[in-house]
Amino acid sequence: MQANCPQCGHTITIDDARVPDRPFGVKCPKCSSVVKLPGRSAEPAVAPAHVPEPAPLPARPAAPVGSGATAAMDELFHYMCHEGASDLHISAGSPPMLRHDGDIKIIAGRPVLDGAATEKLLLPIAPERNREEFARRHDTDFAYEIPGLARFRCNFFMDRKGMGGVFRQIPTKIISAEQMGLSKEIMALCDLPKGLVLVTGPTGSGKSTTLCALIDHINKNRTDHIITIEDPLEFVHENKKCLINQRQVGEHTNSFKDALRAALREDPDIVLVGEMRDLETVAIAIETAETGHLVFGTLHTSSAPSTVDRIIDQFPSDRQGQIRVMLAESLKGVISQVLCKKIGGGRVPVLEVLIGTPSVANLIREGKVFQIPSIMQTGKKYGMCLMNESFAELVKKKVVAPQEAYDRAVDKAGLLSTFKKNNIDTSWAPAEAGAPSVNAQA
C-alpha cells in the first residue's frame, strides 16, 4: 500500500501487515505529519507505539505503589516525599500534616480524620507484631518501606482524641560524608581501631543521617565486621568492603543491652548502638569500646561537654570515679548537632565537635568537665569547635539567618558575643540577651 504526504508530497510505502496497528494513518518519516490511509476517514485514536508518553508534570506527586488496605497511606507517603517533607503527622481530630523545613503544615484539601478513619488508615501498614504491641501498650515503633521511594520510621500512639502516627522519612539513598561536608578530623574517627564515638542532639536533629554517613564511609574503606543495633532499622546498608549485620530491637533481639552483650560473642570490629537509653546499655558500650572495639552511639544531649556529664551522672556515686577513668580512656569523639533553617529553604546541620585528646581525657578523669569548652576553643588544630563558632560561620556565609541561629543556640548570650566579635549585626536581639554568659555549654 502507498500514500502521499499532503504536506511534503513524500511517497510512503506501508507494510500491509502493519495496517491494523495504524488503522487511520501513519507518520511521514520526512516531515512527521500524519498521513491518512486510503479509505480511512477518522483521526488516529492511538499515538504511534514508538512515540513516548508525555512525562508527568513536576508538581504532580507520583502515583502510589501500594494497593488494597495500604494504598491510602502509600499515597500520603508519596506526597510527603514529593514535597520534600521530613515528617508526616496523622492524628484523630486533625487533617494530615507535614513537617517541612522545620514547620508543621496542613496538607491542603485533606479532610479532618475521626478516630475510626485514623485507625483504618494507619493499622494496615503495621506488622502483626506491632499491632499486638499497640493494642497492649498504646505505643509501638516499626519501619515501613516503599521500594524505590524511601523507608519510614513509624510510631503509633494514643491520645485523648484517639489514635495517631508520626512518620520520619529515611531516604533510600545514603548521603555520603563528603556530601554532608564532614571535616577530615571527624572522618578520622572512622579509622580508629577502638574507642567510643557519640553523635548527640535533640530529636530530629539528623543524628541518624550523620551516623549513617560514618558507617557508610567505613563500609567503603575498611574490611571489617559491623553490627548495628537499632529501634527500628532506619538506613539499610548493603555489604561493600565490610560485612554488615543489622539487628532491630523487638524483632531480632529483645533489647539494646541484650544485643550489645551478645555482640561481644559475634566477632565484631565496629558496633553501632542506635540509642544508649539506660545505665546498663551505657556501661556495656563503654566496656565494649575498652575491649578493642569501635563503638558508635547516640544520646539526646545538647552539647559535647554536657554529654560527658550525662554519661557519668547516670551511674551511682560510688561508681562514678571508675566510670570517669573508663570514659577518659575510651571516649574518642563527640559530635553534637542541631538543624537550622537555611536562607532560601531547606535545613543544614550545625556541629559542635569534641575530640578525645590527652588534655580532654585528663579533664574527664579529674572531674573537671566544666573546663572542656576552653580546651575546645583552643583545639581547632585537632578539629574541635564550639556550637556558637559553627553558628557564626554559617551566618557569615549567609547560609543561616542570625535570628535563626539565636533561636537554636543553647548559650544565647555567648552567641551574641561571638556575633559581635565577627562584626555580625545584633541590633535585632532582645536587650536581656546581652547579659554575661554563664557558659551554658558547660
C-alpha cell at 367: 572531674
- Tell me the DSSP string of 237-264: ---SSSEEEEEEBTTTBS-HHHHHHHHT
Check if the beta carbon of residue 193 is closer than 8 Å to that of residue 329. no
CB within 8 A of 173, min separation 6: which ones? Answer: none
pLDDT above 60 (res 20): no
Q: Which residue has the cell 583552643?
A: 378
Mean pLDDT of 46-51: 39
Count the Cβ atoms, other than its own, within 10 Å of residue 364: 24
Count the Cβ atoms, other than its own, within 10 Å of residue 31: 13
Distances (CA, A) of 250 to 149, 230, 233, 434: 25, 10, 11, 49
How many C-alpha atoms does 315 have within 13 Å on its Cβ side?
Answer: 20
- Tell me the DSSP string of 14-38: --GGGGGGSSSEEE-TTT--EEEPT
Check if the beta carbon of residue 296 is closer than 8 Å to that of residue 211. yes
How many C-alpha atoms does 149 have within 13 Å on its Cβ side?
Answer: 23
Mean pLDDT of 91-96: 96
Please state, rounded to an integer, the average pLDDT across all residues of the chain: 87
Q: Which of 287, 288, 334, 280 is CA-nearest to residue 307?
A: 334
CB within 8 A of 13, min separation 6: which ones? Answer: 1, 2
How many C-alpha atoms does 300 have within 13 Å on its Cβ side?
Answer: 6
C-alpha cell at 31: 516531515
* Residue type for position 426: T
C-alpha cell at 6: 499532503
pLDDT above 90 (res 374): yes
Indicate the SS3 state at residue 57. coil
Mean pLDDT of 33-45: 50
* Whole-number Å distance between alpha carbons of 126 and 137: 15
Q: Which residue has the cell 574527664?
A: 364
Count the Cβ atoms, other than its own, within 10 Å of residue 5: 19
* Whole-number Å distance between alpha carbons of 131 and 153: 15
C-alpha cell at 442: 558547660
Maximal C-alpha separation, the chain: 100
pLDDT above 60 (res 436): no
C-alpha cell at 264: 561481644
Q: pLDDT tens-digit profile of 382-434? A: 999 999 999 999 999 999 999 999 999 999 999 999 999 999 999 998 876 65
Structure confidence at residue 26 as a pLDDT band (50, 70, 90) = low
pLDDT above 80 (res 144): yes
Count the Cβ atoms, other than its own, within 10 Å of residue 270: 25
> Residue 277's pLDDT is what?
84
> Residue 157's pLDDT is what?
97
Mean pLDDT of 27-39: 58
* Whole-number Å distance between alpha carbons of 310 and 220: 33
> Residue 97's pLDDT is what?
97
Backbone angles phi, psi at 189, to 5 degrees: -65, -25
pLDDT above 50 (res 57): no
* Whole-number Å distance between alpha carbons of 43 and 38: 13
> Residue 267's pLDDT is what?
96
* Whole-number Å distance between alpha carbons of 74 and 80: 10
* Whole-number Å distance between alpha carbons of 265 and 275: 20
> Residue 67's pLDDT is what?
55
Q: pLDDT tens-digit profile of 189-230? A: 999 999 999 999 998 899 999 999 999 999 999 999 999 999
